[in-house]
Amino acid sequence: MDFNFDIIGGYLPLFLRGTLYTVGFSIASIILGSIFGLGIGFGRMLKSPLWRWPFLAYINFFRGTPLYVQILIVHFGLVPAFFGSTNALISGVVALSLNSAAYTAEIFRAGIQSVDPGQREAALSLGMTGRQSMRFVVLPQAVKRMVPAFGNEFIVLVKDSSLLALVAAPEIMYWSNTMKGQYMRIWEPYLTAAVIYFVLTYSLSKLLSYIERRI
């Protein structure tokens, strides 16, 4: 296979700039998605089926439809409705956060429900309020169990951000497509993108396993 490093060299500054966008999209969506997901996760665990329903519907919608379509809906529907015109940066963060929240909600729920009910009962019998038992007894144990699942979710999110090239967000895959269009070669742009994504996700997984060991 002939592999032309010269054309990669020409695109390297663009790939680097794209990497910054990918990292930005990922960090913003991981933070916003986790906060939002925590809320959805608690809503999902409400006792009353009537109150629980909207959260369940949210999770089912975002897990059950393609992110590809969600990005288009956010970019051409949601964002113009609020901001007057399309903006790839806003729609990128919004679409990824909304999507990720559905998955993190389930991770939160699984983590919390995996803690033995006896723990909560014990906390309550010691005179803690329901809120206190959640904050000081259940969550610290639950979070530790959630870390590997979060690691998975965040790595998937970083790679999912490549779909934002669809709305011309100038991230890694966008420049890869541009390079492919100019030279009509597929291996140079795609493999370059793959290497960059690997570096990003591998660093992320190292970071997460460090966190896992520390808590």
Binding site for other proteins (CB under 8 A): 4, 13-14, 17, 72, 76, 80, 84-88, 166-168, 170, 174, 177-178, 180-187
Query: Which residue, 11, 17, 19, is CA-closest to 180?
Result: 11
Query: Which residue, 128, 127, 130, is CA-closest to 112?
Result: 130
Query: In this complex, which beta carbon is closest to other proteins, that of residue 164 or of residue 204?
Result: 164
Query: Smallest gap, in angstroms, from Cβ of residue 170 to other proteins?
Result: 5
Query: In this complex, which beta carbon is closest to other proteins, that of residue 40 or of residue 164?
Result: 164
Query: Smallest gap, in angstroms, from Cβ of residue 8 to other proteins?
Result: 14
Query: Smallest gap, in angstroms, from Cβ of residue 186 to other proteins?
Result: 5
Query: Which residue, 139, 214, 172, is CA-closest to 26?
Result: 172
Q: How far is CA 168 from CA 13, 88, 156, 179, 195, in A?
A: 18, 7, 20, 14, 21
Query: In this complex, which beta carbon is closest to other proteins, that of residue 38 or of residue 72?
Result: 72
Query: In this complex, which beta carbon is closest to other proteins, that of residue 115 or of residue 179?
Result: 179
N-term to C-term CA, the chain:
47
HSE at residue 106, side-chain half, CA atoms within 13 A, is 14
Inter-residue contact 95 to 76 (CB < 8 Å): no
Query: In this complex, which beta carbon is closest to other proteins, that of residue 4 or of residue 114?
Result: 4
Query: Smallest gap, in angstroms, from Cβ of residue 86 to other proteins?
Result: 3
> Helix, strand, coil % (nearest 5) of the chain?
85, 0, 15
Query: In this complex, which beta carbon is closest to other proteins, that of residue 89 or of residue 143?
Result: 89
Total Cβ atoms within 10 A of residue 120:
17
Query: Smallest gap, in angstroms, from Cβ of residue 143 to other proteins?
Result: 35
Query: Smallest gap, in angstroms, from Cβ of residue 14 to other proteins?
Result: 5
